[in-house]
Amino acid sequence: MWKKKVEEIEKQYRELSQKMSDPETMKDFSAFQKLAQNLKEIEPLIQKYHQLCQIETELQEDRSLLKKEQDLELRQLLEEEIKELEANYERCEKEIKTMLLPKDPRDERNTLIEIRAGTGGEEAALFVADLFRMYSRYAESQGWKVEIMNSNPTELGGFKEIIFAVEGKGAYSKFKYESGVHRVQRVPITEAGGRIHTSTVTVAVLPEVDEVDLKIKAEDLRIDVYRSSGPGGQSVNTTDSAVRITHLPTGIMVTCQDEKSQHKNRSKAMRILRARLLELEEKKQKEAIDEERRTQIGTGERSERIRTYNFPQNRVTDHRINLTLYRLESILEGNLGEVVEALIAEEKARVLEKVG
């Protein structure tokens, strides 16, 4: 079944290659660029398929020789070569099947990340700041831009909540597995007795939505403006720059107050609102089809965890894939790549198992 699909793509590849060499196509730079991009996307799969066909040819030749060969030493060499070729064939076949998996159309989008303190009071708020720093540094290592959309800071330097955008190709594809409850175990700076506390933080990752993808009626919005406030509720601005937007049909409310400009706060609030509305719509559609995926944000209770950060043991454990790494400090510095890639690999393996 998968071979037939690859053969169809190979036929498409040949047709695109012919169009690329057509003098008429070369006259239209935009059309030429589009064809070149399509070819570039297909080429790795075609190359891998040709590699598989070459292995298959070599296997057939060796098996045919083995049937005729009488010399024991040569037979042994052929058997070893066949065994190696079979392993290469299996690996190559798996890689092709992975390439054929449908891509999440949202993967290339920018992403919005919301981190909220759950159980644990000030300690949870401080860990929100730690996670924000970790994600920011990881994003920067990928060459992506980080922009704070809204935050609710505490007096000790933590955040009750922070919402930020990560802008860059493929940002959502890397961050989407971070949604869920993150648990931290450490001695809080507010704890004089040196006891280890357990706190939780909830993370939600949303793909950013363009205005053209989701139209919002003006009459469905209630927009309130007021003076922004900082830790402890003190006013940090003398003008009504903070913006609260309520989407009346759903009751979704978004607040932005980090910018001094009302216009900028309103623009950021609308970006967050569009992402939340799209998430709500997709959630309804998926729940109508199956019960597999639930809402990204949990209640913040300790039992609903996807990952634990244990400071005394310098340990990070992702409970979904049973991955444990003893380099917590490095991971919190933004070296999240190994965890992200392990989650992506596990997801691909799970999907491959389903499709056969």
The residue type of 141 is S
Strand order through the sheet with 242-247: 221-226, 242-247, 252-256
pLDDT level of residue 270 (50, 70, 90 thresholds): confident
User: Residues 272, 164: contact at Cβ < 8 Å?
Assistant: no
The residue type of 220 is D
Report CA 45 to chain centroid distance, whole Å.
Answer: 23
Q: What is the mean pLDDT of residues 161-190?
A: 91
Q: Which of 187, 197, 189, 182 is nearest to 331 (CA)?
A: 182
User: Which span out of 33-37, 57-61, 98-102, 187-191 was modeled with the highest average pLDDT?
Assistant: 57-61
In the prediction, which pLDDT does 261 show? 83
User: Residues 287, 182: contact at Cβ < 8 Å?
Assistant: no
pLDDT averaged over every residue in the chain: 84
Helical pair 72-100 and 2-20, crossing angle rounded to 10 deg: 70
As given in the structure block, the two tokens for residue 282 are 């997709």
Residues in the chain: 356
In the prediction, which pLDDT does 239 show? 62
> Any idea what DSSP says for residue 149?
E
Residues paired with residue 323 on neighbouring β-strands, in sequence order: 318
pLDDT, one tens digit per residue, over 211-261 is 656 778 888 888 888 877 666 555 555 567 888 889 888 889 998 888 888
185, pLDDT greater than 50 = yes
In the prediction, which pLDDT does 15 show? 85
Percent of the chain with pLDDT over 70: 88
pLDDT level of residue 289 (50, 70, 90 thresholds): very low
- Number of helices followed by number of strands (H, E) in the chain: 9, 11
The residue type of 304 is E
Torsion angle, alpha carbons of 40, 208, 335, 115, to 10: -170
284, pLDDT greater than 80 = no
User: Residues 32, 20: contact at Cβ < 8 Å?
Assistant: yes
d(CA 317, CA 306): 9
- H/E run at residue 351: helix 337-355
91: left (phi over 0), alpha (psi -120 to 50) or beta: alpha
Angle at 268 between CA 273 and CA 238, to 5 degrees: 120
* pTM over 0.95, yes/no: no
d(CA 350, CA 356): 10
In the prediction, which pLDDT does 345 show? 84
pLDDT, one tens digit per residue, over 66-94 is 988 888 899 999 999 999 999 999 999 88
In the prediction, which pLDDT does 12 show? 86
Q: What is the mean pLDDT of residues 48-55?
A: 92
Residues paired with residue 221 on neighbouring β-strands, in sequence order: 247
pLDDT level of residue 285 (50, 70, 90 thresholds): low
Using DSSP's 3-state secondary structure scheme, residue 331 falls into helix
As given in the structure block, the two tokens for residue 354 are 């389903």
pLDDT level of residue 190 (50, 70, 90 thresholds): low
In the prediction, which pLDDT does 18 show? 84
In the prediction, which pLDDT does 162 show? 94
In the prediction, which pLDDT does 71 show? 86
Report CA 237 to chain centroid distance, whole Å.
Answer: 36
Q: What is the mean pLDDT of residues 8-22?
A: 84
In the prediction, which pLDDT does 302 show? 41
111: left (phi over 0), alpha (psi -120 to 50) or beta: beta
pLDDT level of residue 336 (50, 70, 90 thresholds): very high
Angle at 278 between CA 274 and CA 279, to 5 degrees: 115
pLDDT, one tens digit per residue, over 102-160 is 777 788 889 999 999 998 889 999 999 999 999 999 999 999 999 998 899 998 899 99
pLDDT level of residue 16 (50, 70, 90 thresholds): confident
pLDDT, one tens digit per residue, over 300-316 is 444 468 999 999 999 99
| Nearby residues of 191 by Cβ (< 8 Å), 6 or more positions away | 197
